[in-house]
């Protein structure tokens, strides 16, 4: 009796599962990426395979920020001759550069991405960096901060990215601008940048750095402060 | 020197304690794991004790302790079974 009941239940469940599989497979092929005619995410660049944008996991202190370009200004302040307040378009007016750089997160994942942006040093040159300002502090819309040495920015042509794999940075990935701090741990890659401050304070610690993570943030070095 | 090891009941009790220790450490591993990835929840829940950096440091250490405690728990259980079969 029991066997017959089980067989009857299976005979009902199996066709339902088969129907669900057919619908799911049909749906997978007609997703928005296949149907849309807009810009498509680049997944290969100069023979190099790229990670998907979705491979960058959300580890932000206050979740994704939604920035309005109507009110957005990138402030360059601190030890500069001419403080700046730049609109999104003004920042995009600087020379553009592209780089494939791997973002490594302390959580254990990484993503190799094509970044397009402007050189941070070009913006700083426009503001005129005063002597005795070896530290550049990045401020984000959500209150997050992190710092990088000015010499590091100059030596590595560090970008302030606005494009990721050929697409405009999504809100989840730091629109309008994100620091591409190559060879540094992910917590140095500030998203939603709205301020660049030149400082003489070499003991400055950003959000995660003041909570135990190493201030140098070198990807090949220690993750934590000694 | 190891006369007390002849007391099977005592050894089994030690094995059980290692079992409970393993369980506590597994729970701590899970909590610190969440402290890394879900720090926005765990940090305030633990009054800032398990921040992301602390969680990450503990998580790396606790993993090894879990393995050691679990190995002792299983090892003692197997050993006492084997001794029991011999008697």
Q: What are the DSSP calls for A49-94, one per residue?
A: E---GGGS----SS------TTT--EEEEESBSS-EEE-HHHHHTS
Write out the residues of chain B at the interface with chain A, using a CB-CB cutoff of 8 A: 36-37, 40, 51-54, 56-57
Residue A156 lies in a domain: yes
| Domain that includes residue A58, residue range | 44-211
Closest to A107 (Cβ–Cβ): which among B36, B54, B57? B36
Backbone angles phi, psi at A173, to 5 degrees: -105, 15
Give the global pTM: 0.82
Assess: ipTM above 0.85: no
What does the pLDDT average to over A198-216? 97
Residue B7 lies in a domain: no
Higher local confidence (pLDDT), A16 or B7: B7
Residue A30 lies in a domain: yes
Same domain, A161 and A96: yes
| Domain that includes residue B75, residue range | 12-79
Res A9: pLDDT:
61
Q: What is the CATH number of the domain that holds A76?
A: 3.90.420.10
Is pLDDT above 80 for B1? no
Residue count of chain B? 87
Percent of chain A with pLDDT over 70: 84
Same domain, A15 and A116: no
Is pLDDT above 50 for A34? no
Q: Is B51 in contact with A211 (Cβ distance < 8 A)?
A: yes
């Amino acid at each position: 009796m029991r066997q017959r009941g089980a067989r009857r239940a299976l005979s009902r469940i199996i066709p339902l599962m088969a129907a669900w599989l057919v619908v799911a497979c049909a749906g997978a092929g007609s997703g928005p990426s296949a149907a849309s005619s807009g810009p498509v995410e680049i997944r290969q660049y100069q023979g190099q395979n790229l990670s998907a944008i979705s491979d960058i996991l959300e580890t932000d202190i206050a979740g994704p920020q939604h920035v309005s370009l109507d009110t957005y200004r990138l402030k360059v302040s601190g030890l500069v001759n001419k403080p700046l307040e730049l609109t999104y378009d003004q920042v995009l007016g600087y020379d553009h550069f592209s780089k494939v750089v791997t973002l490594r997160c302390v959580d254990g994942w990484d993503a190799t991405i094509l970044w397009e942006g402007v050189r941070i040093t070009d913006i700083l040159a426009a503001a005129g960096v005063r002597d005795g300002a070896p530290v550049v502090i990045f401020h984000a819309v959500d209150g997050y901060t992190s710092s990088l040495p000015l010499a590091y920015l100059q030596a590595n042509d560090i970008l302030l990215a606005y494009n990721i794999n050929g697409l405009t940075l999504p809100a989840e990935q730091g629109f309008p601008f994100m620091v591409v701090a190559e060879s540094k741990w992910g917590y140095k890659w500030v998203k939603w940048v709205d301020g660049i401050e030149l400082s003489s304070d070499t003991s400055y610690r950003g959000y995660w750095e003041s909570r135990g993570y190493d201030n140098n943030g070198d990807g090949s070095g220690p993750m934590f402060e000694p | 020197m190891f006369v007390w090891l002849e007391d099977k009941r005592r050894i089994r009790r030690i094995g059980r304690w290692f079992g409970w220790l393993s369980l506590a450490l597994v729970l701590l591993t899970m909590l610190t794991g969440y402290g890394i990835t879900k720090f926005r929840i765990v940090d305030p829940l633990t009054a800032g004790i398990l921040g992301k950096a602390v969680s990450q440091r503990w998580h790396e250490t606790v993993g090894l302790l879990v393995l050691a405690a679990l190995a002792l728990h299983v090892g003692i259980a197997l050993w006492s079974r084997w001794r029991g079969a011999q008697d």
